[in-house]
Amino acid sequence: MITIQYTAFGHSDVLQLNPMDKPTIQENEVLIKIASTTINPLEMKIREGYLQQAMPITFPYTPGSDVAGIVEAVGNNVSRIKAGDKVYATTYGGTYAEYISLNEDQVAIIPSNISLNEAAALAIPLTTAYTLLVEAGQLQDGQKVLIHGASGGVGSIMVQMAKAMGAYVIGTTSGAELDRVKALGADEVMDYKTQDFTAMVKDIDIVADLVGGETQTKSFEVLKKGGKLISTVMPPSAELAEKYQVEAPFIMSNPSYKKLDFFNELIAQGKIKAQISKTMKLEQAAEAQDLVSKGGVNGKIVLEIN
């Protein structure tokens, strides 16, 4: 099979097209013929060597965090999935390829009203949104949620999900994306380039931090006492959390089909829709990663494989 791999840390030019044997499956695994995967910022951080301690890898390494495709074979102990099923999943590496083997517990059946490309574009955002809003945030009907990076691949899904769960949703983005985030269901949208959100909102129950940096630091000021600042990009300050009497966890999402299945009804009702900015080929992975690294890509870049 064809894969995209690299054998040293570096810029996008380390990505090379390499042949590999098709993976075999264990008794609890499924073999997926991959139709599509997407570009996620984490993949560039790993490639550049910034996460060597937190997420060590071995070379040659095949990147990729999400997958949609068709099951080609299943292990003897697999009961929920069968050959021919259209499935999607999240994982830690290995999706820039024609095939992947995954544990059955990672793999969910794709809702019938979305395409393989849409499923790939939803996998990471749905898993992250569930981990942040449901597990860590314990979001309740009527709560106020501030989402930084609301027009991105994860943020746009989080806006839709929080709204569907009954929250009052405030999003930050910039320029032309203001109207798009509003159309996704946000009750208020602010331009982070021209507006100071700390002067405009207060008594926030949950801040979903998908940006980090100074935006994260300033977000402590707008939380109500006992609120939560939850980040997917960098650990928040424990000192500021204590000062403002709030919770401030840093989260990473573990793959699970249950997190994806949680959204089946919302997807079927059209309340959550994939946000795809561009579709490219697997062979264009380096170019696609560069586009995401430069910023300004709203929604997901999908790599089509088979």
- pTM listed for this prediction: 0.91
239-286 pLDDT tens trace: 999 999 999 999 988 999 999 999 999 999 999 999 899 999 999 999
What does DSSP assign to residue 253? P
pLDDT of 298 above 90:
no
Please, which pLDDT band fits residue 233 given cuts at 50, 70 and 90?
Answer: confident
Over residues 86-105, mean pLDDT: 98
Report the pLDDT value the prediction gives residue 42, as an integer from 0 to 100: 86
What is the C-alpha separation between 36 and 274, in angstroms, rounded?
A: 14
Task: Give the CATH architecture of domain 2-123+254-304.
Answer: Alpha-Beta Complex (3.90)
Please, which pLDDT band fits residue 175 given cuts at 50, 70 and 90?
Answer: confident
Domains of the chain by residue range: 2-123+254-304, 125-244
Amino acid at 222: V
Superfamily the domain 125-244 falls into: NAD(P)-binding Rossmann-like Domain (3.40.50.720)
Estimate to the nearest angstrom the gap between the alpha carbon of 197 and the chain centroid.
24
Antiparallel, parallel or unpaired: β 188-191 and 144-148: unpaired
* DSSP-H helix ranges across 8-165: 41-47, 116-129, 153-164
